[in-house]
Amino acid sequence: MEEQGRVALVAGGSGLVGGHLLRQLLEEPRWEQVVSVGRREVDVRHEKLEQRVMELGAIGELPVVDDVFCALGTTIKKAGSQAAFRAVDHDAVVALARTAAEAGASSFLHVSSMGADAGSRIFYNLVKGETERDVAQVGITTTVAFRPSILDGDRAESRPGEQVGLAVMRTLRPVLGRFGPTRAADVATAMIREAERLDAGSRVIGAGRITRVAR
């Protein structure tokens, strides 16, 4: 029987995947309240939505939550340095998981990346892999990392180089298979579907499965 009356928390709701997460969660009867945390408010208003503005690198006390959906992430170019990138994509995500555990969260679902590997020599993949490892060690009953390919969707900020690459990859999608672009809306849907399962343990959902789960 489906468990009702749960509280969801979304971090990164102003981003590409996070925006889809917020909209979908607000329409899901399973969650009676959705808490959005971030450095600024999101442009969404709903009777179920509570917004909390905070610096994610120094998260204070969170409300009691059941399911945490983390879509925090940046790029090295946007962050300005490898250290600044790590501060967001590793440190802030792990800090959120630890604080969520203290708030009673039973599941933590977060966006990682294809190629994530804590033993990688590629800095980006290394950080993503270390984040997956460290989140899984926090002690939350269910932790799920989602590894999409390049995200496909309409971003608020302009990324001209990425848009050119996306245009080519969309054309080649049937040939690229799981290496083709992953729709941001599909990532959000897959995260919600996995949260509904309530299966204990730590697991990884790859790009191909993200698309299948979301369909």
Predicted confidence (pLDDT) per residue in 153-185, tens digit: 665 554 555 555 555 455 545 555 566 789 999
Q: Could you tell me the residue range of the domain that residue 210 belongs to?
A: 6-214
Grade residue 38 by pLDDT with cuts at 50, 70 and 90. Answer: confident
Condensed to tens digits (0 to 9), the pLDDT of residues 78-124 reads 999 999 999 999 999 999 999 999 999 999 999 999 999 999 999 99
Mean pLDDT of the chain: 88
* Domain membership flag for residue 210: yes
- Counted domains in the chain: 1
- The pLDDT value given to residue 1: 40
* Domain membership flag for residue 188: yes
Q: What are phi and psi of 7, to 5 degrees?
A: -115, 125
Distances from the Cα of 120 to the Cα of 88, 125, 127, 203, 209, angstroms? 19, 6, 9, 19, 23
* Domain membership flag for residue 1: no
Domain at 184, CATH number: 3.40.50.720
* Domain membership flag for residue 70: yes
- The pLDDT value given to residue 87: 95
* Domain membership flag for residue 149: yes
* Domain membership flag for residue 16: yes
Structure tokens at 173: 């999608």
pTM equals: 0.88
